[in-house]
Amino acid sequence: GAVVSQHPSRVICKSGTSVKIECRSLDFQATTMFWYRQFPKQSLMLMATSNEGSKATYEQGVEKDKFLINHASLTLSTLTVTSAHPEDSSFYICSAQIVEGTRSGEPQHFGDGTRLSIL
C-alpha cells in the first residue's frame, strides 16, 4: 500500500519550455503533498508543501512564479517548471502523506522522481 506515482520519470527539453510533473497517490488520499529537489550526491531540499484546495507554501528562496504547484484533489498534485533554463536541471521528487498522518507519525511516501534536463 501507500504507492505514489510520479510522471514523467525523465524529461529533456529546450530552454524556455514549461514542464509539468504529476504526482499521484494511487491507493490513499493525501491531504498534503511535498515537492523536493535533489542535486547530485546531496540530500533532499524541500521546495514547497501542497495542501489540497489551497495555495502551496513555498520554502524560502524558492520562486513561486518559477515553480507553480497545483493540488486539485486528494490524489493529485502537479509541479510546473515555467520557462525552464539549464540551472533548473535537477532531480525532482514528490511525496504524499495520508490524511491526518502528520500528528501520528505517518511517514511520507515518495514517488520515483523526475530527472529534468534543460538544454
Partner 1 sequence: AQSVTQLGSHVSVSEGALVLLRCNYSSSVPPYLFWYVQYPNQGLQLLLKYTSAATLVKGINGFEAEFKKSETSFHLTKPSAHMSDAAEYFCAVTHSNDYKLSFGAGTTVTVRA
Min dist CB 55 to partner 1, Å, is 16
At 15 the three-state DSSP class reads coil
> Does 104 contact partner 1 by CB under 8 A?
yes
**C-alpha to C-alpha distance for 72 and 64, rounded to whole angstroms:** 17
Q: Determine phi and psi for 82, rounding to 5 degrees.
A: -90, 140
Closest approach of Cβ 68 to partner 1, in Å?
21
Nearer to partner 1, 46 or 82 (CB): 46
Binding piece for partner 1, criterion CB under 8 A, among 11-19, 67-75, 78-86, 96-104: 96-104
Strands (DSSP E) found in 3-89: 4-7, 10-13, 19-25, 30-38, 44-51, 57-58, 67-73, 76-81
Residue closer to partner 1 (CB basis): 8 or 16: 8
**Contact predicate 84/118, CB 8 Å:** yes
Q: Which stretch binds partner 1 (CB under 8 A): 14-22, 68-76, 81-89, 104-112?
A: 104-112
| Interaction of residue 55 with partner 1, rule CB under 8 A | no
Q: How far is the CB of 87 from partner 1 (least distance, A)?
A: 20
Q: Are 119 and 15 in contact (CB under 8 A)?
A: yes
Q: How far is the CB of 100 from partner 1 (least distance, A)?
A: 11
